[in-house]
Amino acid sequence: MRWSAPIYAGSCAYHLRKSGLGYGRHDATGRDGRNSRNGHRAKTVLTEVGPVEIDVPRDRDATFEPKIVAKRQRRLSGVDELVISLSAKGLTTGEVQAHLAEVYGAQVSRQTISTITDKVLEGMAEWQNRPLDAA
């Protein structure tokens, strides 16, 4: 599924209501001194369709936890899968970086690409060193 900024914003608003801040906009309930909405902040997330700017809602106690794009998350899993796929086809980190910049307009460092592919290499090493059943 591909997430666009409006879909994400709607989802965040829904989760903010479900987290106990379920009062309407400009309602006096939010002014009672307890936790309340506190606007939003802009965040750019790298997706499989390129960079997408989203608005992340905030609350005064900083207890709101987004469900789709977690706090401090800068890329969605589709990007990781794309990088792994390109690397599996034999592209170097520099070639993957150039591809992402040319096709998606996304600036991704070679270090980030290496970090993504290293996750797969760790899993492969574990799989290769697993105990084999004596059949």
Residue whose C-alpha is closest to residue 38's, from 64, 8, 65: 64
Which pLDDT does position 2 carry in this prediction? 44
* Residue pLDDT tens, the chain, 135 long: 444 555 555 555 555 455 445 666 666 666 666 777 777 788 888 777 777 787 888 887 878 777 777 787 887 777 888 888 898 899 999 999 999 888 877 788 898 888 888 888 888 788 888 888 865
Which pLDDT does position 94 carry in this prediction? 93
Q: What is the number of helices (H) and of strands (E) in the chain? A: 4, 2
Which pLDDT does position 91 carry in this prediction? 92
Which pLDDT does position 28 carry in this prediction? 62
Answer yes or no: pTM beyond 0.85.
no
Which pLDDT does position 56 carry in this prediction? 80
Which pLDDT does position 6 carry in this prediction? 55
Domain boundaries, the chain: 5-59, 77-128
35 class by beta-carbon count within 10 Å (0-12 exposed, 13-18 middle, 19+ buried): middle
Which pLDDT does position 67 carry in this prediction? 73
DSSP state of 21: -
Neighbouring C-beta atoms of residue 43, cutoff 10 Å? 17
Residue whose C-alpha is closest to residue 9's, from 30, 40, 50: 40
What is 99-127 written as a DSSP string? HIIIII-----HHHHHHHHHHHHHHHHHH
Which pLDDT does position 92 carry in this prediction? 92
